[in-house]
Homo-oligomer: A and B are copies of this chain.
Amino acid sequence: MKATARAYTNIALIKYWGKRDEVLFLPMNSSLSITLDKFYTTTTVEFCSCLSTDVFVLNNKLANEQELANVTRVLDLIREISGKEYRGIVNSVNHVPTAAGFASSASGFAALTAAASKALGLELNSSELSRLARQGSGSACRSIHGGFVEWQKGENEDGSDSFAKQILSNHDWDLSILSVQLNYGAKVVSSREGMKRTRDSSPFYSGWLATIEQDIKTAKEAIQSRDFEKLGQIVETNAFKMHATTLGADPPFMYWNSATYDVIQEIQYLRSVGIQAYFTIDAGPNVKVLCDPKDEKDVYEQLIHMPVVQGIKLCHPGPGITYLSNSSRE
């Protein structure tokens, strides 16, 4: 009754922004992502008949009550499917910068879902895993898969049709994703709070929803035809729109800071000299830059020398859930 799984973070190319159901983590809109090959969470779950409560160790420290409650909520779903009532010990190690627009909760809940269901002997397919992971953290449903992934928002009230599907494997199109870490601290508004405030109060939210299906369609066409420029343009457009919606919220807020802007301007400069690079920004100040692998060295060199840049991690499309043998962990 023990299993270990690794899941990688993903960055949204077309953003998940707003829930229609806060409990089931059902999104207002479909989204599209790339799973990355560098940032991941490794989680071991061991169920045991002798435990009276779940135990959650995160990065070698006992997790706090809220973190434990989130984990227990997902374990409960898996216990319900398996019909087994055992409590579990969850040991999770994040190799992800947290709370700055890098979705550590995505890799975390994906790895937890995979490890826990395997530990209880369930043979779930990836759609079932994705649906479960979604109930830990929305974007976790995308980290079940590698490569290019679409999370279809679904229509059903119970969320049964809201899960992610792979649209292209990580082996089928190589891109460079530069994860640019800026000299600034953690974000002020969590993505959970940010999307709620935006959905409930921004006069721009309806405009966001009205254009998202077309954005998804354009991005999928670009991916299917390996059209990098088309993909880059829609990715930037979509990121701009997501961040615009926050400026209309009550009270308004923004995830960017002046360093974010500096990097945006640098990317625009790179394009003006013929290097096709495009950015996206999640719910935090840090920037991810997409480019063709042949340009990654030039883009890296250009950005790493900016005073506002603290570091750059170079990523490529990564795999989905990977199970590690328990012996290799023990």
Contacts and interface: CB of A to CB of B under 8 A. Distances in A.
A323 B129 CA distance: 77
Interface string A217-260: 00000000000000000001100110111011011100011111
Contact of A204 (B204, B237, B256, B261): B204
A328 interface: no
Nearest to A261: B258
Interface stretch (A25-33, A70-78, A207-215, A287-295): A207-215
A234 to B, nearest CB: 11
A128 interface: no
A41 interface: no
Contacts of A211: 203, 248
Contacts of A205: 207
Interface string A251-294: 11000111111100100000000000000000000000000000
Contacts of A208: 203-204
A206 interface: yes
A299 to B, nearest CB: 19
Nearest to A211: B203
A209 to B, nearest CB: 9
Contact of A203 (B241, B252, B260): B241
A244 B241 CA distance: 8
B257 A247 contact: no
B236 A241 contact: no
A187 to B, nearest CB: 14
A176 interface: no
B237 A241 contact: no
A202 interface: yes
A248 B203 CA distance: 13
A177 to B, nearest CB: 21
Contacts of A244: 204, 244-245, 247-248
A323 to B, nearest CB: 42
A202 B204 CA distance: 10
Interface in A116-152: none
B265 A261 contact: no
Contacts of A248: 204, 207, 211, 240-241, 244
A247 B240 contact: yes
Nearest to A212: B203
A329 B205 CA distance: 55
Contact of A247 (B241, B250, B261): B241
Contacts of A243: 247
Contacts of A251: 237
Contact of A256 (B206, B250, B261): B261
- Which 8 A/B pairs are nearest by Cβ-Cβ distance? A203-B207, A244-B247, A258-B261, A244-B244, A240-B247, A258-B258, A204-B204, A204-B207
